[in-house]
Amino acid sequence: MKRHAGYTVIIIFLIIFLALSYSRQQKRVKQVLSENERLLNENRDLRHSLDVNSNTARQIADRSEVRERTEGTFVERRTYYRRNWKQFIAVTTSDYRTGFLGGIKDLQVIVRNQSEYPLDNVVVSVDYMRGSGEVFKTEQYTINDVPAKGSKSVDASSSRKGQKVAIKLLSITSQPMNFCWSANKPTAPGNPDPYLCTPQ
C-alpha cells in the first residue's frame, strides 16, 4: 500500500514538473515570436526609410541634371553637351548577315544623336574580322548631317570573308554645338572644355 502511495506521489511530481517545463517552454516560444515580430517590423520600417531616401536622392539628382541642361544660357547648354557627348552620341551597326562559310552582307553603320544640335559629320572605322578575331580589312565611313534628336545610317560594303565586325568612332564635328572631337587628338590636362572648336 505504501509502495502504491509512493508511486502516486512520484507520478504527481512528474506531472507537476512536466507542466511547469511546458509552461516555461511556451513562455520562451512566445518571447521568441514576439522578438521576431519586433525585428520584422523594424526591418520593414528600415526598408521603407531606405526606399524613401533613395527616391528622394534620385529626384534631387534628376532635378539637378534637368536644371543644368535647361536653365542655362545657349552657350551653357552647348558646353554641357560637349562635356557629356558620350551620353548623347553613339555609333552602332545594323543586324548584318553572315554566310555559312564566312562573308558579311547587309551591313549598315548607324549614328544616333540625342543632343539638341545636329552633327555635321561623323567619321567611323569598321574592322572586318575572321572568326579568330584577326582583322583582315578596315574601312572608313563618313556620315554627314545627322539631325538633332535623330539618327542616320550609311551602307557599308559587303565582304566575301569574315564572321564579325568591330566599329570605332574616329571623329565628330558639329558647328552648331561648336564641337570638334577626334580620337587621335590629345586633350590638354585641366582644360574644362577640351572639345570646343573655336574659343568664344
Supply the pLDDT for residue 57. 67
Supply the pLDDT for residue 64. 57
User: Where does the pLDDT of residue 98 fall: very low under 50, low under 70, confident under 90, or very high at 90 and above?
Assistant: confident
Supply the pLDDT for residue 2. 55
Proportion of the chain above pLDDT 90, given as a percent: 40
**Dist CA 73 CA 108 (whole Å):** 37
In tens, the pLDDT along 13-22 reads 778 877 777 7
CB atoms within 10 A of CB 193: 14
For residue 185, the 8-state DSSP code is: S
User: Listing from the earlier edge strand, what are the strands of the sheet with 108-113?
Assistant: 89-93, 108-113, 150-155
In tens, the pLDDT along 16-47 reads 877 777 778 888 878 877 777 777 777 777 77
Supply the pLDDT for residue 109. 95
In tens, the pLDDT along 103-115 reads 888 999 999 999 9
121: three-class secondary structure by DSSP = strand
Mean pLDDT of 73-101: 85
Residues with Cβ within 8 Å of residue 69, at least 6 apart in sequence: 77, 80
Q: Which residue has the higher pLDDT, 45 or 88?
A: 88
Q: Which residue has the higher pLDDT, 162 or 84?
A: 84
As a whole number of Å, the end-to-end CA separation of the chain is: 118
Supply the pLDDT for residue 121. 95
Supply the pLDDT for residue 173. 96
Mean pLDDT of 166-175: 95
**In this structure, what C-alpha cell is assigned to residue 152?**
542616320
What mean pLDDT is reported for the chain? 83
Give the chain's radius of gyration (CA, Å).
36
